[in-house]
Structure 1
Amino acid sequence: MRSYLLAQPSRPAEGRRPLVIVLHGAGASAGQVMGQAFPPSPLSVWLEIAERENVVVLAADAGAGGWSDCFASVEKVAKKDDVAFISALIDKAVAEYDVDAGRVYLIGVSRGGLLAYRAAVEIPHKLAAFSVALSCMPPPHAARPPTVALPALIIGCTADPLMPYRGGKYFYTLGFLDPVCSIEDSARTWRELAGLPDQASVLELPKLNHWDKTRATRWIWGDAADGLQVGLYKIENGGHAEPSITKRYPYFINKLVGRQNADFEVAEAAWDFFKDKRAAR
């Protein structure tokens, strides 16, 4: 048996609604990313977006053993196939929650991001776009590479103590994490697969607070908001913490995982990227 949490907007739908599936990180839960457990998750802002934009939001729960992500062995996937779980959730949402099969979006953070990469490789036909925060792609030899282009938004922090922005592996993560590609190489993989030009639209986000020692810059490749685009948010001096203006991690967590950017909401940035995109037919 697998579990998930569902948020549906209170007002009636005018036709079928978009679906956003949220994948939590290691040690977290569906409850935590939906704002029901400590610490406060920036991804819980999806609840506000669901009500405002008439979106169905579904938070999957990894359960015992964590996600079978893109580094999972064949044996682990045979016992617990989380991409099959995501696929089944999409089918259920389309059948039971009036979801538009052409507007299904996936966002994952940390280990959930590693699963989002795997889902984007294995079931691209079921996704209109995906986003990953604080998570790098595996090297080509370590996992199946993508073969179908998808709109992708990747968010990385240069001082992340768990997922190295420049790739590789920190010695102190021991067997918990495998070597990864860099954040920029992860974005490049999807950009090149989509055949997008090297030149990007670049925006340096304005500083909202003098005490915030991080700085965020956004790159977008592809001109059409309703077409193939790849986006990258680079957060200088940011740690393993999702950016948020309103959902701030406690001081002691920042001491452990590094600084949290306060110039934008990760969920709002993802929705802005997702909202005009539809699955290719």
Structure 2
Amino acid sequence: MSFASLRRFFLGSSVVHGPVAAISKHQLQRPEGPRKFLLARPSQSPTGPRPLVILLHGFGASAAQLLGQGFPPSPLAHWLEIAEREQCLVAAPDGSGHSWNDAFADARVNAKTDDCGFIGALIDELIEARGVDAARVYVMGVSKGGMMAFRLATELAPKLAAFSAVLASMPLNSQCAPPQTPISALLIASSTDPLVRYGGGSFLKNRRQAGAMLGIEASALVWRQLAGLTGGTVSEELPHRQAKDKTLATRWIWGKDPQQLQVSLIRIDRGGHAEPSPTRRYPRWINWLTGAQNADFETAELGWEFFKDKRAAFVGPAPN
């Protein structure tokens, strides 16, 4: 086995194709104490209000790992290239104890902090201090962070223009009320994810962290019904990049106008608990544990494609 092959097996790989936004460390005082977050800012001076993308890490991970500053290489670190290219801000907060209070009533190791209040206050702070466009605030979370994204979409919906939950589902037993406000939603999930059951329920090995879940399609239906998007759909199989990649990506979109409410589901058949990316690849030994990583699309790029034309229906002070 060559050195390059050994490196990919143990460390994975990360390829950057363009300039990236610079990262700085910050904290925000909250009732539970100081809460940390990273902020990625493009090098060019702003010419007007900038969109904001909030990224939420998975269980046991961190904001640093999510933005490519830790192991393993996170596909969502590609947002740093998008931030520089598209002149947007990217904020990555840290959960409490590397987790989130995501409303799963039966998740026994859930954080107890007011994470909705924290993210709401973070949005307000960045609007006031960093010139964020209050109508263009978006959230993308992966795994446990995706579950938190569902809660934020439920409780902070008036402040968000759209959200994305990656490798995550909604709780079957929730601590908070059902969502009431329509909001555009992008769901990315794997049909054979060993940690998040596509059809709902839970796996014994991660029940302490997640609890019982709705199915992925049932979760999408919640947001489709709120948006009145229960009719026809457009579906497509995404172009396959690598012959040796046995996974297959199919996208469904409800809602024709990208500037209006839309719900989209991307299903990865034969995929595992790994964000799709052709440029940032998990170590192969991790693939043995969590399943195959699709290489047909860049998760961050599809997120930006979905977010960029959407605006919040209401702009006002974020709940805290």
| Structure-2 change in CA distance of 1:93 and 1:208 (3 Å) | same
Task: Please report how far the alpha carbon of residue 171 of structure 1 lies from its aligned counterpart in structure 2 after TM superposition.
Answer: 2.7
Match of 1:243 in 2: 276
Match of 1:86 in 2: 119
Q: Of 271, 277, 286, which aligns to 1:253? A: 286
Structure number with greater Rg is 2
TM-score normalised by the chain length of structure 1: 0.96
AA matched with 1:259? A
Task: Please report how far the alpha carbon of residue 191 of structure 1 lies from its aligned counterpart in structure 2 after TM superposition.
Answer: 0.5
Task: Please report how far the alpha carbon of residue 139 of structure 1 lies from its aligned counterpart in structure 2 after TM superposition.
Answer: 2.0
User: For 1:230-278, what per-residue CA distance to the aligned partner results, in whole angstroms no more than 9, with x for missing partners?
Assistant: 0000000010000001000010000000000000011100100000000
SS at match of 1:2: strand
Match of 2:253 in 1: 220
SS at match of 2:104: coil
Task: Please report how far the alpha carbon of residue 12 of structure 1 lies from its aligned counterpart in structure 2 after TM superposition.
Answer: 1.8
TM-score normalised by the chain length of structure 2: 0.84
Match of 1:50 in 2: 83
Task: Please report how far the alpha carbon of residue 64 of structure 1 lies from its aligned counterpart in structure 2 after TM superposition.
Answer: 2.0
| Structure-2 change in CA distance of 1:199 and 1:226 (3 Å) | same
Task: Please report how far the alpha carbon of residue 170 of structure 1 lies from its aligned counterpart in structure 2 after TM superposition.
Answer: 1.7
1-side partners of 2:46 and 2:179: how far apart?
34
Match of 1:97 in 2: 130
Task: Please report how far the alpha carbon of residue 198 of structure 1 lies from its aligned counterpart in structure 2 after TM superposition.
Answer: 2.6
2-side partners of 1:278 and 1:79: how far apart?
31
Task: Please report how far the alpha carbon of residue 138 of structure 1 lies from its aligned counterpart in structure 2 after TM superposition.
Answer: 1.2
The count of residues paired between Structure 1 and Structure 2 equals: 280
User: Over aligned residue pairs, what C-alpha RMSD do you find?
Assistant: 1.8
User: For 1:196-226, what per-residue CA distance to the aligned partner results, in whole angstroms no more than 9, with x for missing partners?
Assistant: 1331111101110011010000001001101
Which consecutive aligned stretches of 4+ in structure 1 deviate over 3 angstroms post-superposition? 76-79, 140-143
1-side partners of 2:124 and 2:206: how far apart?
36
Unaligned runs of 5+ in 1: none
Match of 1:263 in 2: 296
Task: Please report how far the alpha carbon of residue 79 of structure 1 lies from its aligned counterpart in structure 2 after TM superposition.
Answer: 5.0
1-side partners of 2:281 and 2:159: how far apart?
33
2-side partners of 1:275 and 1:215: how far apart?
25
2-side partners of 1:43 and 1:234: how far apart?
18
Q: Percent identity?
A: 53
Within the alignment, does 1:28 sit opposite 2:61 as a pair? yes
Q: Is the deviation greater in 176-185 or in 14-23?
A: 176-185
Match of 2:194 in 1: 161
Alignment of 1:14-163 (within 5 A): 14-64=47-97, 66-71=99-104, 80-139=113-172, 143-163=176-196
Residues 125 and 280 in structure 1, CA contact (< 8 A), matched pair in contact too: yes
2-side partners of 1:66 and 1:198: how far apart?
36
1-side partners of 2:217 and 2:100: how far apart?
24
